[in-house]
Amino acid sequence: MPEHAQRITAHQTTALNAADGTAAPHDIASTASSLEIDGLLAENQRQRQRIADLELTVVEYRKQMSQVLTSTSWRVTSPLRVFAAGVRIARLRARRWVARRRRRRSAAATLRLSGLFAPAAHLLPETSPLRRAGADRRPAPPARRPRDANTVLPRIVVVAHVHYPELWADIEDRLARIHEPFDLIVTVTQGTAESAIPAISRRHVNARIELVPNRGRDWAPLIHVVNEGLLRGYTAVAKVHTKKSEHRLDGDTWRLELLDGILESPDAIKRTVDLLDADRTVGIVLPTGHVSGPDHWGSNQGIVELLASRLPMAFDPDELAFPAGSMFWCRPWLLEQLAELGLDENDFEVEGGQYDGTTAHALERMVGVMSTVGGMDLVETLDVPSRTRELQRHPPAPAKLLAFYLPQYYANADNDEFWGEGFTDWHNVRRALPLYAGHRQPITPPEHVGYYDLADGEELRRQADDVRAMGIDALVFYHYWFDGRRALRTPLDNLLADPSIPLPFALCWANEPWTRRWDGLDMDVLISQTYTQGWEHRFYDDIRPALFDPRYVTVDEKPLLLVYRLDLLPDLKAALAIWRHLAEEDGLEGLHILGVLPSRDFGDVDPSALDQLDGLISFPPGSGVSLTSIVDCVPGGVAGLTGDVYSYDTAADSPALAAPEGVHVPVYPTVFPGWDNTARRGIDAYVFHGSNPVTFRRWLQRATRYNPEHDPNLVFINAWNEWAEGAHLEGGELPDIFPSSYRAFRGH
């Protein structure tokens, strides 16, 4: 029987004996209370004595270590230790190199399907609460703690979980090695670890201390921290906990190895945080030798697949790499994505000494999976110096992000005529229905965005603030001009009329017929696109006021202009020459003109005409991405679908862009955070299943490295607000792909 249980039984026995005979009830209560107090005082004295004994042990240990380190034998054997360490390091690096090559070959050859759809319930452990909760539960949107621009946070936040209060001193000793300001968040297991709180509060008066139930070990408390949005705004998170690992004989040694691995010394800590800040291809830094791989899936793969399907996020089980022991440095953005899983304490098993097959064990692997899927490496502390040197030799080039903008969301005469009075694209968004199990429709704006009306000029001001806060450099407005007829012009007119709206912008001429099918093809044409004599001059006159706006985007001091359908222009070479001449006559440096890379639905364009452009841009899904159908993999099928379901994961790994044969202009990438035009096309829809912020991060990060030699390095995003096509940044957050040192370049 445990000691505390024995003590309670003794108190109860004494009280009962006192009650036997003539003792009054209040005497019985008084006796029991007195005994309880005596017991607590005795326990307090025992704990004080234990602390004193431990402090003496630490002093003696340090004395012995000092004697060893200054001894002659230690100095004499130093070369042998250095040589042996070098051999161990060389072997470790060789094993990691082989493992990385194997994972890369696997990734290049395999269509990743795990995580796209929820696994069958029988593939989950019978005791898993997630099995009982239901595989198709849709997570609620995570809480977003607003960033306070006036609050200056330190770079580091330490998240520590305390379950064994007697082990807090191990963490405390190592926190002293952080020689820069840091915030401390401590989760304390309720009912077992409150005795550590006074010691924590004395040394860290500003620490945030949260009492949590005894569920999910160190991972349920971390989910609580993430769900509260407490990690936002930091550069690096150090995750530690009081770890016993009673199923291992070397549990104490393992704990100290992990703690010393990530909190080794002030210099090592600074190098790690500097690397996480500067190299956004690093997701997790963990103690050397503590990366586990696919042979450590255990009984957890089904749970990870279920959690991933909530995003949904495809991954390859053979690429598994995760931080064994759950102590590591991490990029805050990566941990914040755990909030998207919609977990709470009820999704974790009641503690029973489990060593496998729980939600906590699955999350330990999940964070490694998300790092890999997001294009971020797991770096061991041994490799931090070499990664830093490599980054200094080959720093990534900064990039400017421009998102396409749909000015459709307001009632206007054209919409009234073609679609019915009061129609906007919001009507399509609201009526969308899911086409198959796991299909996320309708895709609607969050409450803070809402179904806005772009006839109100103040909406652009609100969006300008959101664009800047997210880190987007400019919006590219679709410009609808049909040989003199203007459409959907009110938002642009409102912007030009109010120079106080801080919104950088450019124009993309959507020079295709306006059709009823929203796809730009010549069927059910509502407004034809014609090119009568002198159209080039009339088009320039129409866009001229925008070109002279000080907020208009320029490249080499030339206003940026995009043209969507190059194949429809009667004489591309002549049009380019005329526009540039008119701009120079106006006193501008010229025009920087980009065209959309001819897609599957476009006609051919003379390569010599394309060479007269300043560049081309891909425009997925029409061009620049691989299309891999997974419609046959949808559980239960997709009845009646005449469109298709594609792998978003494969699209994100599309081959590098190249100009058409014979064309020698740069090609700039365009990425999309998602694509699903069910709202507009119903069963004719094309859906890219598996879109999520983590995979989008990998694609966006890769896109910024397509043209590092170009200045500026432009990356386009489709789109800011294409809600009816499931392609929108608005209402979300941009992945953290840029170091803080790029903020000056990008104007943020």
Percent of the chain that is helix, strand, coil (3-state, to 5): 45, 15, 40
* Residue that finishes a domain, picked among 330, 358, 393: 393
Residue 58 has what pLDDT? 58
Percent of the chain whose pLDDT exceeds 90 = 71
Residues 381 and 430 occupy one common structural domain: no
Between 50 and 396, name the one with better pLDDT: 396
CB 325 within 8 A of CB 368: no
Cα-Cα-Cα-Cα torsion 482, 486, 490, 491, nearest 10 degrees, comes to: 30
Using DSSP, state whether 366 is helix, strand or coil. helix
* Bond from prior residue into 312 cis (ω within 30 degrees of 0): yes
Q: Is residue 140 part of a domain?
A: no
| CA torsion through residues 389, 392, 396, 400, sign | positive
Question: Tens of pLDDT along 693-746?
Answer: 999 999 999 999 988 777 789 999 999 999 999 999 999 999 989 887 665 444
CATH of the domain at 264: 3.90.550
- pLDDT band per the 50, 70, 90 thresholds, residue 1: very low
d(CA 604, CA 513): 18
In 223-365, where do the E strands start and end? Answer: 236-241, 282-286, 291-292, 322-323, 328-330
Residue 16 has pLDDT above 50, yes or no: no
Residues 378 and 421 occupy one common structural domain: no
Residues 297 and 404 occupy one common structural domain: no
Residues 584 and 667 occupy one common structural domain: yes
| 26-30, 99-103, 242-246: least confidently modelled range | 99-103
Residue 38 has what pLDDT? 75
| CA torsion through residues 245, 247, 252, 258, sign | negative
Q: Is residue 73 part of a domain?
A: no
Residues 486 and 569 occupy one common structural domain: yes
- pLDDT band per the 50, 70, 90 thresholds, residue 106: very low
User: In the chain, what is the greatest distance between 2 CA atoms, to the nearest angstrom?
Assistant: 117
Question: Tens of pLDDT along 219-268?
Answer: 999 999 999 999 999 999 999 999 886 655 565 888 999 999 999 999 99
Element housing 632 (H / E): none
- pLDDT band per the 50, 70, 90 thresholds, residue 69: low
**Which is nearest to 388 in space by CA: 221, 528, 226, 273?**
273
Residue 711 has what pLDDT? 76
* Residue that finishes a domain, picked among 348, 364, 393: 393
CB 194 within 8 A of CB 188: yes
Element housing 638 (H / E): none
- pLDDT band per the 50, 70, 90 thresholds, residue 603: confident
Residues 571 and 425 occupy one common structural domain: yes
Strands 592-596 and 644-647 turn out to be unpaired
Q: Is residue 535 part of a domain?
A: yes
Residue 739 has what pLDDT? 84
* Residue that finishes a domain, picked among 366, 393, 420: 393
**Mean per-residue pLDDT over the chain, rounded:** 87
Residue 397 has what pLDDT? 82
Q: Is residue 82 part of a domain?
A: no
Question: Tens of pLDDT along 417-457?
Answer: 988 999 999 999 999 999 999 899 999 999 999 999 999 99
Q: Which domain holds residue 50?
A: 3-61
Residue 55 has what pLDDT? 64
Residues 549 and 463 occupy one common structural domain: yes
Residues 48 and 126 occupy one common structural domain: no
Q: Is residue 203 part of a domain?
A: yes
Residue 78 has pLDDT above 80, yes or no: no
Residue 59 has what pLDDT? 65
Residues 184 and 156 occupy one common structural domain: yes
Q: Is residue 66 part of a domain?
A: no
Question: Residue 526: how many CA atoms within 13 Å on its side-chain side?
Answer: 16
Residue 24 has pLDDT above 90, yes or no: no
Residues 298 and 381 occupy one common structural domain: yes
Residue 442 has what pLDDT? 95
Cβ-based neighbours of 288, under 8 Å, separated by 6 or more: 92, 261, 380, 381, 382, 383
Question: Tens of pLDDT along 324-340?
Answer: 999 999 999 999 999 99
Residue 91 has what pLDDT? 57
Question: Residue 561: how many CA atoms within 13 Å on its side-chain side?
Answer: 26
Residue 30 has what pLDDT? 60
Residue 36 has pLDDT above 90, yes or no: no
- Number of domains the chain is built from: 3
DSSP assignment of 199-243, as one string?
Answer: HHHHH-TT-EEEEE-SBSTTHHHHHHHHHTTTTTT-SEEEEEE--
Residue 227 has what pLDDT? 95
Residue 49 has what pLDDT? 75
Residues 333 and 413 occupy one common structural domain: no
Residue 387 has pLDDT above 90, yes or no: yes
Global pTM reads 0.85
Residue 371 has pLDDT above 60, yes or no: yes
CATH of the domain at 699: 3.20.20
Q: Across residues 29-36, what is the average pLDDT?
A: 62
Q: Across residues 539-552, what is the average pLDDT?
A: 98
Residues 569 and 584 occupy one common structural domain: yes
Q: Across residues 147-168, what is the average pLDDT?
A: 88
Cβ-based neighbours of 735, under 8 Å, separated by 6 or more: 333, 374, 693, 696, 697, 700, 701
∠ Cα 436 439 441 (to 5°): 115
Residue 673 has what pLDDT? 97
∠ Cα 169 173 174 (to 5°): 120
Residue 10 has what pLDDT? 31
